[in-house]
Amino acid sequence: MFFSNIMAVGTMEGDKQKLNLRREVGIIGAVSFIAGTMIGSGIFMSPQYVLSTVGSPGASLVIWACCGLIAMLGGLCYAELGTVIPESGAEYIYMTAGKVVAFMFVFSFILVMRPASVTGIALSIAEYVVAPFYEGCTPPPLVVKCVAAGSIIVLAIINCVSVRWATAIQVVSTVAKVLALALIALGGVVMLFQGNTQNFDNSFEGTNLGVSSIGIAFYQGLWSYDGWNTLNFLTEELKHPEVNLPRAILIAISLVTGLYLLVNVSYLTVMTPRELMTSSAVAVTWGNKVLGSWGWIMSVAAALSAFGSLNGTFFSGGRVCFVAAREGHMVRVSVRYKCVLTPSPALIFTTVVSLLVLIPGDFQSIVNFFSFTAWFFYAITLAGLLYLKIKKPELPRPYRVPIILPILVLIAAIFLVLAPIVDDPQIEYLYVTLFMFSGVLIYIPFIHYKLLPGLLTKLTVVLQLFLEVAPADKNL
């Protein structure tokens, strides 16, 4: 009964009008979403970790370039997937053929990956926001966590209220962060031309070629590039996805890779490797050295940058809950029908879990566990693409990549998941793996065998009444 009411509201205006997300994102919005999500906390935090794990400036630049290459190749593979399967939801939707795997993914995504990235980025916003007030000493963790919680809540509200606002924040913050990185890059080039090249003499001396250190360096670098798949989460909101998806991926990832490389060269031009490794906030150290008393600008820029990344993460994360609900893997409450069309219940859920993760979480371990889990699922997705290419060559493909690309990225992904464990196994990785597989224990009784069948329906009706939302249709 209640369902029919909701659908009636959805179809009131036109005979066959469906209730779904609108196609509001054009090419500029699309490039901003990718670049804006990719550039966040990483480029202001990880350069020193990459350098200290691989041991030399030359090797560190090679790692940054390879990370860019992996992101670009991965992005292009995802562009093919996004045009063959034009639904929102990225990995999740590409895995729906293997139902248990898809559920395992959504389970890990909602309970580990998304809250981990939200919390990690929020913590770095907070670090940069409070840094100027605690010059020369470490800010109290409670203050940092409160600021982080504040930024999570503010962005959650904005994302619940309007897609347009969220897009606007993304555009503004992307411009701000690109300018900040361009300033660092330009400063570096000027210094290089003035002859400050001494840090690049013997630039490969001391390189550490251990498997696990290379793996960890990649985890750190790839955290900065993560978000290259952002657009696949919102394919259904994209105007002309078959053209804009690959184009936006190409433009955004090349832009970001170029900037990251220049920024790293700049850091290394201005600071000695030792200074870089011991600095806790590289951008601020850079600012103090090059801009003098204007150095604080860099802490504002770094905070703003992470703010935009958090916004992008929220925006795409909500879409996965939304898609999973539509497939019947979560309660079916997805679209607000009274005022605006955004997946607010899913966003509220992400917010609550992120706030819980924030209580014990610290930035370092969050990045490691995030990357481990993320690359595990990227590997499965790429294997899926290979499967489609080999077994279903007849499917219409508005955009296609040569088969060697998914093979290469798949090999990289497998290396990334295994490398840090092989050399230096840590018990935490086992816990994360067990947690990912525990999704299966929920899937089999409650979803496959439909034990307690009324439970999901009841929860759905209560939430629909409470949040004034309705189930959504696909937007194909």
Which range in 39-47, 191-199, 398-406, 462-470 contacts ligand ARG by CB under 6 A? 39-47
Per CB under 6 A, 223 contacts ligand ARG: yes
CB of 40 to ligand ARG, least distance (A): 3
Per CB under 6 A, 236 contacts ligand ARG: no
CB of 154 to ligand ARG, least distance (A): 17
315: tokens are 């925006």
CB of 396 to ligand ARG, least distance (A): 28
- Give the count of residues interacting with ligand ARG (CB under 6 A): 13
Closest CA relative to residue 76, chosen from 397, 441, 406, 309 = 406
Specify whether the CB–CB gap between 351 and 358 falls below 8 A. no
CB of 288 to ligand ARG, least distance (A): 22
Which range in 19-27, 222-230, 353-361, 424-432 contacts ligand ARG by CB under 6 A? 222-230
Q: Which is nearer to ligand ARG, 38 or 259 (CB)?
A: 38
H/E run at residue 27: helix 27-38
Per CB under 6 A, 42 contacts ligand ARG: yes
255: tokens are 């832009």
Closest CA relative to residue 355, chosen from 195, 118, 165 = 118
* DSSP code string of 301-351: HHHHHHHHHHHHHHHHHHHHHHHHHHTTSS-S--EE-SS--S-HHHHHHHH
CB of 123 to ligand ARG, least distance (A): 10
Per CB under 6 A, 246 contacts ligand ARG: no
57: tokens are 């400036």
Closest CA relative to residue 174, chosen from 79, 112, 115, 248 = 248
Q: Which is nearer to ligand ARG, 25 or 121 (CB)?
A: 121
Query: Counting runs of H as helices and runs of E as strands, what totals does the chain give?
Result: 20, 2
Q: Which is nearer to ligand ARG, 203 or 305 (CB)?
A: 305
268: tokens are 């290394």
Per CB under 6 A, 38 contacts ligand ARG: yes
Specify whether the CB–CB gap between 54 and 216 falls below 8 A. no
Q: Figure out which of the listed residues 10, 29, 36, 40 binds ligand ARG, where binding follows CB under 6 A.
A: 40
Q: Figure out which of the listed residues 36, 227, 343, 361 binds ligand ARG, where binding follows CB under 6 A.
A: 227
Q: Site residues for ligand ARG, window 75-134 (CB under 6 A)? A: 117, 121
Task: Write the binding mask 291 to 320 for ligand ARG: x where contact by CB under 6 A, - elsewhere.
Answer: ------------------x---x-------
125: tokens are 């916003």
Q: Tell me the C-alpha distance between 113 and 369, whole Å.
A: 8
Q: Tell me the C-alpha distance between 234 and 22, whole Å.
A: 10
Q: Figure out which of the listed residues 20, 41, 167, 199 binds ligand ARG, where binding follows CB under 6 A.
A: 41
Which range in 37-45, 251-259, 330-338, 346-354 contacts ligand ARG by CB under 6 A? 37-45
Q: Tell me the C-alpha distance between 245 and 82, whole Å.
A: 7
Q: Which is nearer to ligand ARG, 42 or 187 (CB)?
A: 42
Per CB under 6 A, 287 contacts ligand ARG: no
CB of 226 to ligand ARG, least distance (A): 4
H/E run at residue 469: strand 469-470
Per CB under 6 A, 37 contacts ligand ARG: yes
Q: Tell me the C-alpha distance between 203 and 395, whole Å.
A: 48
Q: What is the CB-side half-sphere exposure of residue 113 using CA atoms within 13 A?
A: 28
Q: Tell me the C-alpha distance between 415 and 417, whole Å.
A: 6
Q: Which is nearer to ligand ARG, 113 or 470 (CB)?
A: 113
100: tokens are 């248990």
CB of 370 to ligand ARG, least distance (A): 7
Residues of this chain that bind ligand ARG (CB under 6 A): 37-38, 40-42, 117, 121, 223-224, 226-227, 309, 313
